[in-house]
Structure 1
Amino acid sequence: MDLNSASSVVLQVLTQASSQDSTVLKPAEEQLRQWETQPGFYTVLLNIFTNHSLDVNVRWLAVLYFKNGIDRYWRRVAPHAISEEEKSTLRAGLITNFNEPVNQIATQIAVLIAKAARLDCPKQWPELIPTLIESVKIQDDLRQHRALLTFYHVTKTLSSKRLAADRKLFQNLASEIYSFACSLWNHHTDTFLQQVCAGVESAAIISLERTLLSLKVLRKLTVHGFLEPLQNAEVMGFLHAVFDRLRQFLECSRSIGAENVCRERLEKIIILFTKVLLDFLDQHPFSFIPLIQRSLEFAVSYVFTEAGGGVVFERFTVQCMGLIKMIVKNDSYKPSKNIEDSKPETIKAHQIKMSLFTYPTLTEICRRLVTHYFLLSEEELMMWEEDPEGFAVEESGGDSWKYSLRPCSEVLFIDIFHEYNQALTPVLLDMVHSLQGPTNVEDTSALLIKDTVYNAVGLAAYELFDSVDFDEWFKSQLLGELQVNHDRYKPLRRRVIWLIGQWVSVKFKSDLRPLLYEAILTLLQDQDLVVRIETATTLKLTVDDFEFRTEQFLPYLESIFSLIFQLLQQVTECDTKMHILHVLSCVIERVNVQIRPYVGCLVQYLPLLWKQSEEHNMLRCAILTTLVHLVKGLGEDGKNLYHFLLPVIQLSTDVSQPPHIYLLEDGLELWLVTLENCPSITPELLHIFQNMAALLELSSENLLICFKIINAYIFSASSEFLQMYAANLCQSFLEILKDITTDGQVQVLKVVENVLQVNPAVGPQMFHALLPPVFRGIIDGERYPVVMATYLGILGRVLLQNTSCFSSLLYQMSQEYNEEIDQILGNLIEMWVDRMDNITQPERRKLSALALLSLLPSVNSVIQDKFCGIINVCVEGLHDVMTEDPETSSYKDCMLISHFEEPKVTEEEEPPTEQDKRKKMVALKDPVHTVSLQQFVYEKLKAQQELMGEEGFRSLMETVDTEIVTQLQGFLQGF
């Protein structure tokens, strides 16, 4: 690319690419895409984005294309890689002038320099860091800031590399520049504090920005730059200085007021100080030990004493609580039960913690957490009134404790209570006892304090197991509190039903559950929506518990289900509807078929909700989950839902439709349970199977459920299904078997085995392409026992139930191996007999015995030569399946099934699905379950004897071990 002539052309195309007109934009983008791999293109881009006289949008686009080019073409081994000569020119040009006037473009330039540094620094770009350090010292505000911004991004990127060699390089870099980084940070920090005290706001904001960037650099160097930071005096000196600086900045924030222009950045840097400590603790717990005392004293004083008054803000409080939590929970600071087994550092850390967490300190922390931080704030109470759904389902799980005050204070309480429960249990119980009896509805503060204490008792339920008689408390006080209907009492009604939900799986007598169901029934009719939603949550916890008994719940089922359904209709937010649907799903799952009389309303409503939730895929996932449990509960009556159900399955499992990304997993589960419970396969259900080919191509973690779905079709509508899909399915299986784990192979082969079991007449022809690999696997001695067992199961069915197919397969293999048919047959029998121990399932072992016996009677010398092995397999099979009748002292085959019996199902068991019944009907036609092995052995040996005559047969039997013959005669007594 001729740079002089190219610059104007590229500039023109970039200008077109920044257009809002798609007819101009699209061709320009295509042209730039073609230029990406042209030599000199990135040099032109560099010239364009460093030319400050050009349009900002064009320069911005040039920077982005340059940055993308680094990702794609900077590595030496990349296709169309940028030449080393051009990269050398580019590197020099990138760090010539740190004078970009536009902040956004300056940030992008810093990022792309860091991306190049990740690949080239220090070997190909040794001058980068020295140039940055020199530029940071320049007394020019703009250049200094841009150099410092780049310095931060380079440090951040290099610190993220994790290979041992890269970490070593970063550690070398850190040791070289740490002193400079510290002095830089101290300089800018002191400058800012002087300027802010002098009231020079414009200068202070510039210094604060540099302080922030230099601290970001130090954070990366401190956390990732030293293998043993405790041994480095500068590192530990910096970390100790963090506490002093934190106090200075907190006092500064107190003095400047909320409206000051520095306020937002000031809070940002205060949080950054805490992140330094948290990251260092996380990465270097033992090096952090000298900082434990200062950290705890600092955090506790600001969060749990008056020292924090007027200074702390919510995010800072969260960070301090996180610091306390990490120190309390850190396994490196917990000695072993046998103290001698602990490291000296661990014992030291534990002693520091013990000296600081005295009884008075723990008591104060506990009381302040409960009565101050658990207290519902004015904002929360306002949210309760204005956005009850947002209040009721506010996120409090996962990592929310790292960012939000309420979850953070609750998690800290749980951890501290767990660690120091012996000291804190009496404190909490004392708080509970002081609140016995009803509370005056006019005393709002007393109601809210009671709410906080009950919250604490719920959070500490497992720790209080031996200290609280919850059943008695439930009867004597909590039930009464649920019956106070006054509007001002609603925080307590909501808290008490939540509290019961926390305890129900911890300590709650089964015979009290009817009282709880009655309370739930009442509260689901409460005038307050938040109380109703919380009650629904407790219902889910109650029915989802191990102690749940359906018979206790049945008297309340109709009313409760109706009220939960009403609640589902009343709520409007997507998250709330999902939440209530999960409650409904849980109830349906636990009561199973007992739900049938009550689901009409839900069945009518779900199609409407599905339509309304077109833009809310997570809500649709919740609907799919509900449908799964609904179909299970309805059993064969689920067919009445097909007009809605089948289009939902079709959409959810169609990989050409964008929603499948969210809906596929639940959609497959719904597809499977629909098939398992359908009385018969409909044309529409057969049509949906067209989605399967693309699903099998994905070869994802969903393959297992796909195989289950295929099996369901095989057992439901074998002939029709196989005529439509066998050819494509066979081809898909051949592709899958090329690249799949051993377990995956077994799952594919089991599907084939099921085809042969259900349809032995045409199944082998339809899946004939899969049989040679199976035959080969047996002959070649497949080394995985579970795969070999499946191979033998497949071939056993072909041999036993489709002789002509077996003969043609034998001929095909003789051609392939270029050996006589008898030789191939002999090898097969020999391997079969040798690998019988691979087969562990009694059904398959009997199948092998029947299959090998089906070769008799025969005059074939090879079969007669292998007669001993065949008899060995038969006797093994007889041992597996024959049981002795003690009354008659005769043997009978325990695998024989003469008729289909509906099993008796206890209330705790799920009733059999239609699929279970179909499998039983298939078993009634399966030789494994219809042919007596004992009878079959007798008939085959009798036929062989008749074929060979007495003398010949006796000679044949003499090839069998005498002990085996004795055992065989024992089984055949009476014939």
Structure 2
Amino acid sequence: MNLSYENLLNLLSIANGSERSSEQQQAEIQLKAWEVESGYHYLLQEIYLKEELPLQIRWLAVICFKNGIDKYWRSSRANAISKEEKVQIKSRLFLMVGEKNNQLAIQNAHSIARIARFDFPQDWPTIFDSISQMLEESVFTKNDLVATNNLLIILNQIIKTVSIVRVGRARHALQSKAPVIAPVLIKLYVKFFQQWTTVAFDLGTMQICYMCLKNLRRLIPEGYETPHKSPEIIEFLTLTKQHLQELIIEHEKYASSDMLERYVRCYCKLYVNLINSNPTSFILLPNSQDILSTFMSLLDQRAKEIYNAEGGGDSNSFWETLALKGFLILKRVIGYIYKRGAVMLRARNDKEEIQQAISKLTTNFFTKDVIQHLCDLIINWYLRLRPSDLESWSIEPEEWCNEEISSSSWEFQIRPCAENFFQDLISFFNHELSDFVISKIQQGLADSNDMLTKDAILCTFQLSSISIANRVDFNKILNDILIPEGLKNDVSENRIIKRRICLIINEWVSVDCSKESKVSIFRLLVNFLQPDNKLNDSVVKLTAIQCLKNVLDDYDFNKYDFQPFLNEFINLSVRFLKEVEYTESKLFIFNVLALLIYRCNPLVDHQTLIDILSVVPSYWESVQNEHETILKNSLLRVLKNLVVSLNANSNETYKISIPLVESCCDGQQSSDNYSLLSEDGYELWLSMLQYAPFENPNTNELLNLFPLIPYGLVNSTEILPIILSLVRSYALISPSLFDIKSEITVEIFAQLTKYLPTMRDDSFVVFVSMMDILLLEKSSDEGFIQLLVTSGLFQAMVNYILNEDERGSHDIISSNKIFLILSRLNPSSLLYLLTNLSVNYDNLFNVWMEYFNNNGNPRNKKINLLSLISLCEKVIASGGNEIPVLVAKFPEIVKKTLLFLEEVNETDDGNCNVYSQDLVYEDIDDYRYLDQDIEPHGEKKRYQRLLESRDPVYSTNLREYLSKTFKDLKGKLNGNDFNMLVSMNDEYTIEKLQQLIN
């Protein structure tokens, strides 16, 4: 079908059909094919410009046009739109300014902005001049409000698109055009603002005025390097402050329109953007103090209305929005003072202006009296729990508490915003406020009978932890004031103080808290979790659980101090689980239980662990939808920590754990479960293998999971270290799994072959230890050796070292680890592999000798030397024809062995203290075993047994092995050949060899 206006219109009509059909699919395919044809986008533009066509057809045409601009406008793109077509398109871009359909007008604006992004300033330098001229004509000549509004929408999109460009000429060009467009926008803003506020309230006029403001809100921060030096900007910003004050005063008059709040937000965004882009310039504006004073006055005068506002009420959101923006603006400004104007210096005089700006703020605005008044204001109104908070606490305590605990969006909630601002205030103005705040705390706690006031004062103590830590004795306040207050049960409002005490402990426990105080905290939290106390409602208990989590997470947590309270905390937490309804609450409690079990290992008694285990199935089955699936993740973490704590008895979890691992890690049977739960499932699975009993690891139950590994190896590369650790654990539990007859193992090794060249370091170290274990077990197993060949893994390991395309990406340490794996092979097996595969012997052994000098691990050096000596003996004894380079390298290997023996002090049986360090399985001695009370898990014992029984490092005396090698060669070679072999060595080596042989 040829591209023409009629054909295109017809296909758009078909593609726009409400029901899917083969004809519609064919139309879409044809439209896609036409994208690269000349004239296609011009015809699309022609269609959406015609007002007589159906709206849906025009809508589809403008969407296709916009998307095509993205893909084909840039001249460097394949099938780019021709220059001639671009000229035609650009000549008609503004023919749609009279469009009355707002959505079509917006899509057209997006299209123009995308073209401006590519063409401004080089190919379209006059765009801002043209829009400026059209705006003035539409307002002052034609009085066309629709066209004016559409032009402002287009301009807004252009400024937005061009201003985000950080590389190239566009940003600089925008700044050169800002003085052209800004005066026009300001003139229109003033005209329309006066119209809708004084002449006649009209939403259309109000909208146009708002669009002027919105454009200026973007243009001034991005288009002016130094707004404080521009007279028109200074005048406009003075005007905005006056208008903001007018709207605040007259807000009831316009309360029925949400446009009022949009205006207020826009003024605030203008000030915030100015502060963010150039705080120095904002502060040096003549009216900057007036702007700051406006928000300070608002926070002061409207504090009671904001405090009493009902949550979510439309009439009150206006004041709350202003207060939030006020705090944000003040926060940015005091941060500027504290950081001493730490911004990028653009010019030499910036430093002087920064000092001037800081002096202006500290001398004329943020005086000591103002700071203390602001502090008082926040304490009296903004830190107090609001009536809406108390109502939510009473009606839905659990939901309210979850929101309080999980809320991180402090910018959108007035109390959290005030708390955040107060922390900055006490931190940045510590000298002016610390004594003031301390006296407020002391006086308030002594005199106040109002629970909400007392709570607000205690909140300041909570938020000031870092700032006043060296001025107060927290341990004394805790024991003399907070704990006695927390134990009171005389009035229902005491629950407010109980919650606040928990929040205070959260902040102070890592700042200043003695060992004795922590014991008192444990005792207090147990009291807060007691179910028979009516004041211990859901809020108090959940906050106590949160407090417990922070105490457990503290670096100085001592599990032995916690031990007397351990079982009671667990029992109370499990009991509390039955009381809560929300998934978030259950999740929080389970996460704390998991942390508690982990931090207190091995102090939790066996029966308590089993009791916790017994509650898992019912909560797992209670999860009904995807939103609640996160609870299953938490349950898997609890199970993992139970397995770790049960250690040798971890098999008692199998009845529950194994079916859950199957459910989470079988991606072929349950893709939804796999995507959401597999990572935690794999970690549980790994802990089960590592902590499987040493003597009887119940291999049948665990072996049934082995077939799930290949899927994870292919589909979960982001957690490849965990998957490889699973394989390593199976290598210790059941090395017989790894045989060429096993399709699963063949698949695993084939996948490892693909991964090895680009394997990350964290995966590589696990791979090396896994292969080391397997070769200790199976280096003489012909089936396993054949598996290395058929899978390509041996060739991949050699290539890892020798392939010039790969060598540059791997360091010497990594290559030495591959040599370590090769050293574990039986000499006959290694010779078989080297002679039957395409390996460059000379390169291999040259690199091996070169890299050996950089091997700093004595244990691994000995493994290398034992292998190299045995290889040389075998080759030399057979005539030296198999791998001649080994005969040539033998003297070097002998000398390295003798030098190594001078470095170490082996016992008669070949052991040495340094051989017990820096094991190939690097994380086998992790931090858990630094605690002498924790018995090593089954995997550590299995690994130690393997090393003791199979690793020649501990049982072969290297000096005797070298001596025996030469004696054996002396017996196998004729006298001349042996003497020639000895004579190849240097004088030092010959002298040492004579001592060994004789």
Q: How is 1:130-149 mapped onto 2 (pairs within 5 angstroms)?
A: 130-137=129-136, 138=138, 139-149=143-153
Matched, 1:867 2:882: no
**Partner of residue 14, structure 2:** 13
Matched, 1:376 2:385: yes
* CA offset digits 1:228-264 (Å, max 9, x no partner): 3257515xx42563354234233224324176433x2
Matched, 1:604 2:614: yes
1:615 pairs with one of 609, 626, 629: 626
Quote the Cα distance in structure 1 between the aligned partners of 2:321 and 2:856. 61
Task: Name the SS for the 1:628 alignment partner.
Answer: helix
Matched, 1:451 2:455: yes
- Distance 1:967-1:894 versus aligned 2 partners, 3 A rule: farther
**Partner of residue 966, structure 2:** 941
Q: Is the 8 A contact 1:793 1:848 kept in 2?
A: no
Letter in 2 for 1:946: G
Task: Name the SS for the 2:871 alignment partner.
Answer: coil
* CA offset digits 1:198-257 (Å, max 9, x no partner): xx22x2x2222122212222222222224x3257515xx425633542342332243241
2:570 pairs with one of 536, 561, 567: 561
Most deviating of 560-569 and 762-771: 762-771
Matched, 1:287 2:293: no
Letter in 1 for 2:237: V
1:384 CA displacement: 0.8
1:873 CA displacement: 2.3
Q: Is the 8 A contact 1:373 1:406 kept in 2?
A: yes
**Partner of residue 703, structure 1:** 720
1:43 CA displacement: 4.8
Most deviating of 828-837 and 789-798: 789-798
**Partner of residue 502, structure 2:** 497
**Partner of residue 718, structure 1:** 735
Quote the Cα distance in structure 2 between the aligned partners of 1:968 and 1:413. 79
Task: Name the SS for the 2:160 alignment partner.
Answer: helix
- Distance 1:278-1:807 versus aligned 2 partners, 3 A rule: same
Q: Is the 8 A contact 1:753 1:794 kept in 2?
A: no
Letter in 1 for 2:101: V
Letter in 2 for 1:261: S
Quote the Cα distance in structure 2 between the aligned partners of 1:696 and 1:632. 24
1:91 CA displacement: 3.8
Letter in 2 for 1:735: K
1:403 pairs with one of 390, 402, 412: 412
1:509 pairs with one of 506, 514, 529: 514
RMSD: 3.7
- Distance 1:463-1:34 versus aligned 2 partners, 3 A rule: same
**Partner of residue 465, structure 2:** 461
Task: Name the SS for the 2:513 alignment partner.
Answer: coil
Quote the Cα distance in structure 2 between the aligned partners of 1:480 and 1:688. 55
- Distance 1:598-1:69 versus aligned 2 partners, 3 A rule: farther
- Distance 1:827-1:113 versus aligned 2 partners, 3 A rule: closer
Letter in 2 for 1:914: G
Q: Is the 8 A contact 1:517 1:556 kept in 2?
A: yes
Matched, 1:851 2:867: yes
Q: How is 1:158-557 mapped onto 2 (pairs within 5 angstroms)?
A: 158-195=162-199, 200-201=200-201, 203=202, 205-226=203-224, 228-230=225-227, 232-234=229-231, 237-238=232-233, 241-257=236-252, 260-262=255-257, 264-291=258-285, 293-304=289-300, 313-330=319-336, 333-334=339-340, 343-355=351-363, 356-394=365-403, 400-436=409-445, 440=449, 446-485=450-489, 486-525=491-530, 526-527=533-534, 528-557=537-566
Letter in 1 for 2:525: I
1:94 CA displacement: 3.8
- Distance 1:309-1:546 versus aligned 2 partners, 3 A rule: closer
- Distance 1:697-1:456 versus aligned 2 partners, 3 A rule: same
1:3 CA displacement: 3.1
Task: Name the SS for the 1:394 alignment partner.
Answer: helix
What percent of counterpart residues are identical? 24
- Distance 1:436-1:816 versus aligned 2 partners, 3 A rule: closer
Q: How is 1:811-850 mapped onto 2 (pairs within 5 angstroms)?
A: 811-812=835-836, 824=841, 828-850=844-866
**Partner of residue 770, structure 1:** 793
Q: Is the 8 A contact 2:911 2:954 kept in 1?
A: no
- Distance 1:187-1:929 versus aligned 2 partners, 3 A rule: farther
Unaligned ranges ≥5, structure 2? 307-315, 343-347, 917-923
Q: Is the 8 A contact 2:114 2:161 kept in 1?
A: yes
Task: Name the SS for the 2:585 alignment partner.
Answer: helix
1:729 CA displacement: 2.4
Aligned residues: 935
Quote the Cα distance in structure 1 between the aligned partners of 2:816 and 2:785. 14
* CA offset digits 1:732-782 (Å, max 9, x no partner): 233224545677666655544443234322444322323234335556788
- Distance 1:90-1:308 versus aligned 2 partners, 3 A rule: farther
**Partner of residue 821, structure 1:** none
Quote the Cα distance in structure 2 between the aligned partners of 1:501 and 1:601. 29
Task: Name the SS for the 2:626 alignment partner.
Answer: coil
Quote the Cα distance in structure 2 between the aligned partners of 1:685 and 1:104. 61
Quote the Cα distance in structure 1 between the aligned partners of 2:747 and 2:243. 73
- Distance 1:948-1:358 versus aligned 2 partners, 3 A rule: same
- Distance 1:721-1:797 versus aligned 2 partners, 3 A rule: closer
Quote the Cα distance in structure 1 between the aligned partners of 2:855 and 2:268. 62
**Partner of residue 931, structure 1:** 956
- Distance 1:187-1:718 versus aligned 2 partners, 3 A rule: farther
**Partner of residue 820, structure 1:** none
Q: Is the 8 A contact 2:44 2:65 kept in 1?
A: yes
1:919 pairs with one of 911, 919, 943: 943
Letter in 2 for 1:473: I
Q: How is 1:743-758 mapped onto 2 (pairs within 5 angstroms)?
A: 748=767, 751-758=770-777
TM-score w.r.t. the length of structure 1 is 0.87
1:953 CA displacement: 5.0
**Partner of residue 830, structure 2:** 806
Quote the Cα distance in structure 1 between the aligned partners of 2:488 and 2:26. 70
Quote the Cα distance in structure 1 between the aligned partners of 2:373 and 2:103. 48
- Distance 1:906-1:845 versus aligned 2 partners, 3 A rule: closer
Quote the Cα distance in structure 1 between the aligned partners of 2:561 and 2:151. 72
Q: Is the 8 A contact 1:373 1:409 kept in 2?
A: yes
Quote the Cα distance in structure 2 between the aligned partners of 1:219 and 1:830. 68
Most deviating of 693-702 and 251-260: 693-702
Matched, 1:677 2:688: no
- Distance 1:650-1:184 versus aligned 2 partners, 3 A rule: farther
Most deviating of 288-297 and 510-519: 288-297
TM-score w.r.t. the length of structure 2 is 0.85
1:759 pairs with one of 762, 775, 778: 778
**Partner of residue 919, structure 2:** none
Quote the Cα distance in structure 1 between the aligned partners of 2:745 and 2:602. 35
Quote the Cα distance in structure 2 between the aligned partners of 1:717 and 1:568. 40
Quote the Cα distance in structure 2 between the aligned partners of 1:383 and 1:576. 16
Quote the Cα distance in structure 1 between the aligned partners of 2:784 and 2:644. 30
- Distance 1:71-1:608 versus aligned 2 partners, 3 A rule: farther
**Partner of residue 345, structure 2:** none
Quote the Cα distance in structure 1 between the aligned partners of 2:253 and 2:503. 38
Task: Name the SS for the 1:709 alignment partner.
Answer: helix
**Partner of residue 629, structure 1:** 641
Task: Name the SS for the 1:854 alignment partner.
Answer: helix
- Distance 1:866-1:97 versus aligned 2 partners, 3 A rule: closer
1:317 CA displacement: 1.0
Q: Is the 8 A contact 1:37 1:81 kept in 2?
A: no
Q: Is the 8 A contact 1:764 1:798 kept in 2?
A: no
* CA offset digits 1:530-550 (Å, max 9, x no partner): 111111111111122122221
1:105 CA displacement: 3.1
Q: Is the 8 A contact 2:713 2:748 kept in 1?
A: no
Letter in 1 for 2:207: E
Q: Is the 8 A contact 1:757 1:797 kept in 2?
A: no
